[in-house]
Amino acid sequence: MPYTKIYGVLGYPAKHSLSPVMHNAAFKALRINAEYKIFEIEPSELNIFLSSLAKNNIFGLNVTVPYKEKVMPSLDSISSEAELIGAVNTIKVSKSRLEGFNTDGSGFLKSLSEDLNFEPKGKNIAILGAGGAAKAVSVCLSKTKPKAIAIYDIDKPKLMALVSHLKKIFGDVNYAAVNSVAELDMPNLDLLINATPIGMKDSDPCLVNPDALHSKLLVYDLIYNPAETKLLALAKEVGAKVSNGLGMLLHQGALSFELWTDKKAPVKVMREVLEKEVRKL
């Protein structure tokens, strides 16, 4: 039997990842002899796992919580974007060398353009959350030269660290760390992004006062399960254009696929299986 290249998602936990269905459908569509697996690896076994990738026929990985930063010291090279974001979500094994990339922010930008037809240059943007996803999103948004980015997080040290990191790199964007959602200049906001996990549970509140939402606003929630968070439902009610995070998941995966295979990802096939899978959740 011709040998099968192995790819997979590394995380802990990682069992509920939608990446295997998406990538296995892509391999099948392009008739690539490869299989995408779940690697739920305990923290104590991380280094051994990473040092034996080539030996185990593993050609590429997606990296998820809690390892996006932890894998970095074990890599032979890191892309400039992943370096700026400070996290790696994609590893390519190339002649036993481990190369790190981050496709989260670029995947987000692709989805923003495709799903909301939004061009961030010169716009006023607010991000709720200053964690890993917010970091990738804010770095990639900053590269497109928006006018201003305001960020809010309950974790003040994390918020301040992200804003000062961004200020150091992107001198031409006006950044603000806000102490509460009420401080956001909602009437002049073009794009509101939720990069907190608030909205995943039915009991979660909407972080924004519904009265502040308006029809000229675009709202992007990184959450894709549920497909419609309270924030998105309320924004839709006032006529705002909205998107959930499925497009980001799709495009970060498609970009990883292209890094591993040097082939154009079959995005339509990947989107179809993802949408089908999400309906089952």
What positions carry a catalytic annotation? 68
Residue 100 exposure: Cα atoms within 13 Å on the Cβ side: 25
- Which region, judged by CB under 6 A, interacts with ligand NAP, from 3-11, 17-25, 248-256, 264-272? 248-256
Q: Which residues ranging from 75 to 114 are in contact with ligand NAP (CB under 6 A)?
A: 104
> Using CA atoms, how far apart are residues 193 and 222, in angstroms rounded to an integer?
7
Among 245, 257, 260, 270, binds ligand NAP (CB under 6 A): 245
CB of 2 to ligand NAP, least distance (A): 33
CB of 169 to ligand NAP, least distance (A): 19
Among 81, 99, 115, 153, binds ligand NAP (CB under 6 A): 153
Q: Which of 77, 175, 90 lies closest to 134 in space, CA to CA? A: 175
- Which region, judged by CB under 6 A, interacts with ligand NAP, from 2-10, 90-98, 139-147, 196-204? 196-204
Nearer to ligand NAP, 9 or 53 (CB): 9
Among 106, 124, 196, 256, binds ligand NAP (CB under 6 A): 196
> Using CA atoms, how far apart are residues 112 and 90, in angstroms rounded to an integer?
21
Nearer to ligand NAP, 20 or 53 (CB): 20
Among 22, 25, 85, 130, binds ligand NAP (CB under 6 A): 130
Give the number of other CB atoms < 10 A from CB of residue 215.
9
Using the rule CB under 6 A, is 13 a contact of ligand NAP?
Answer: no
Using the rule CB under 6 A, is 266 a contact of ligand NAP?
Answer: no
Q: Which residue is nearest to ligand NAP (CB)?
A: 131
Nearer to ligand NAP, 63 or 207 (CB): 207
| 259 and 92 Cβ atoms separated by less than 8 Å | yes
> Using CA atoms, how far apart are residues 106 and 114, in angstroms rounded to an integer?
12
Quick one: which H or E segment has residue 243? strand 241-243
Q: Find residue 35's DSSP bridge partners.
A: 6
Tokens representing 159 are: 């918020």
Q: What are phi and psi of 9, to 5 degrees?
A: -110, 130
Quick one: which H or E segment has residue 192? strand 191-194
Q: Which of 38, 25, 190 lies closest to 118 in space, CA to CA? A: 190
Q: What are phi and psi of 195, to 5 degrees?
A: -120, 30
| 67 and 14 Cβ atoms separated by less than 8 Å | no
- Which region, judged by CB under 6 A, interacts with ligand NAP, from 15-23, 39-47, 54-62, 126-134? 126-134
CB of 10 to ligand NAP, least distance (A): 15
Residues that bind ligand NAP (CB under 6 A): 104, 128-134, 153-155, 158, 195-198, 200, 207, 222-224, 245, 248-249, 252
